[in-house]
Amino acid sequence: MLQAVGQAISDWAHVEEGLFAVFYELMASPSKGPPSCTFITAENLRTKIQMVDSMVRNTQSGRKVLSEWDKLQIRCNKLRIARNDLAHRKVAMFTIGRGKAQPALTTYSHDIRHHLKEDKFEIPSHIKIDRVKELSKLFRRLGGDLSKLADNIRRSLAKS
């Protein structure tokens, strides 16, 4: 389980690199320095997604890929939440009924959100290894799709 979580968190880097690639292409900067300094200053992932969204919506090149970005942004936000679930849980042995104990990611004992009735706080009590491996694949796929979007923007700018 620990290896799967480590791999998934590492695979999230593909998403952040893809987001930066889109941001960089839309800034149309002659060097990576200024966009990189700007992008890495945002420590919060939600902010990085918002920065890319602003560039897409407020640049001519970005508006050309707006419909594609809108779909990717939805995936980014869903997977951002899933990534945070991975990063903010602990590995524990989990038994359901009379079954054999299996490793799972569980919430911290002080995390009472799953006891609250409001829908926005409902979170699963545990995450099994199959889901962790699936998230790892989804992270890599999203990162690849973001990189493809950046490539499309670069090609579009080259034609201009």
Q: Cα–Cα distance between 150 and 20 in angstroms, integer? A: 9
Q: Which amino acid is at 37?
A: C
Q: What is the pLDDT of residue 56?
A: 96
Q: In this predicted model, which residue has the larger pLDDT, 52 or 128?
A: 52
41-90 residue pLDDT tens: 998 999 999 999 999 999 999 999 999 999 999 999 999 999 988 888 87
Q: Cα–Cα distance between 47 and 35 in angstroms, integer? A: 15
Q: What DSSP state is assigned to residue 99?
A: S
Residue position matching structure tokens 């890319």:
52
Q: How confident is the model at residue 9 (pLDDT cuts 50, 70, 90)?
A: very high
Burial class (CB in 10 A: 0-12, 13-18, 19+), 129: middle
- Sorted by where each begins, the domain ranges of the chain are 2-83+129-159
* Number of Cβ atoms within 10 Å of the Cβ of 79: 19
- Residue 126's beta-bridge partner residues? 106
